[in-house]
């Protein structure tokens, strides 16, 4: 299965970042605005076995997906697609304290492109390109929130 990975270092305590990422309501704040992420249902706080249902706009189509959280520790949040457009999707967020006021966030995404006609548009290369663009926006948004003291 293809793997995409990226990291950023943020000037905040690991606990602050974990608390922010552990609240699904914050996801639209750090997502590509062109995706128009809409949370349909989600737990208030990420918990193992809880589900998040959402819609995004991708390649001109609204896509609905359901993910289940498979890990929710102090240093990791992981989710896996149980319903959605791709054959498979697993996203791990690893949170590592560099020191008291600096934290490294690493996103690891394993995916399997869809089959059928959608697979002609959503190739591995196109998915990687979209992930690169989206993660850049995500990291930029997080850095901006940290700089403004808004990582709440």
What digits encode the pLDDT tens for the residues 79-103? 999 999 899 999 999 999 998 899 9
Is 42 part of a structural domain of the chain?
A: yes
pLDDT in tens, 22-38: 999 999 999 999 999 99
Is 15 part of a structural domain of the chain?
A: yes
Pairing of strands 76-83, 61-72: antiparallel
What CATH number has the domain bearing residue 66? 3.30.530.20
Residue 74: give the domain boundaries: 3-147
Is 33 part of a structural domain of the chain?
A: yes
Is 152 part of a structural domain of the chain?
A: no
Is 61 part of a structural domain of the chain?
A: yes
pTM above 0.85, yes or no: yes
Is 110 part of a structural domain of the chain?
A: yes
HEC letters along 17-43:
HHHHHCCHHHHHHHCCHHHCCEEEECC
DSSP element (H, E) containing 131: helix 124-147
Whether the per-residue pLDDT at 117 is higher than 80: the answer is no
pLDDT in tens, 49-84: 999 999 998 767 789 999 999 999 999 999 999 999
Question: Please, are residues 24 and 1 in contact by the beta-carbon 8 Å criterion?
Answer: no
Is 139 part of a structural domain of the chain?
A: yes
100 vs 4: which has the higher pLDDT: 4
Number of domains in the chain: 1
- Residues near 109 by beta carbon (within 8 Å), at least 6 away in sequence: 3, 4, 5, 89, 90, 91, 92, 131
């Amino acid at each position: 299965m293809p793997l995409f990975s990226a990291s950023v270092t943020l000037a905040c305590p690991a606990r602050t970042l974990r608390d922010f990422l552990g609240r699904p309501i914050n996801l639209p704040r750090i997502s590509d605005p062109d995706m128009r992420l809409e949370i349909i249902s989600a737990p208030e706080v990420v918990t193992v076995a809880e589900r998040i249902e959402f819609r995004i706009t991708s390649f001109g189509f609204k896509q609905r997906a359901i993910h289940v959280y498979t890990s929710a520790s102090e240093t990791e949040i992981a989710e896996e697609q149980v319903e959605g457009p791709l054959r498979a999707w697993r996203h791990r967020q690893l949170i590592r304290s560099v020191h008291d006021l600096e934290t490294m966030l690493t996103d690891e995404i394993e995916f399997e492109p869809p089959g059928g006609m959608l697979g002609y548009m959503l190739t591995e290369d196109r998915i990687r390109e979209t992930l690169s663009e989206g993660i850049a926006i995500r990291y930029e948004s997080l850095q901006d929130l940290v700089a403004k003291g808004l990582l709440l």
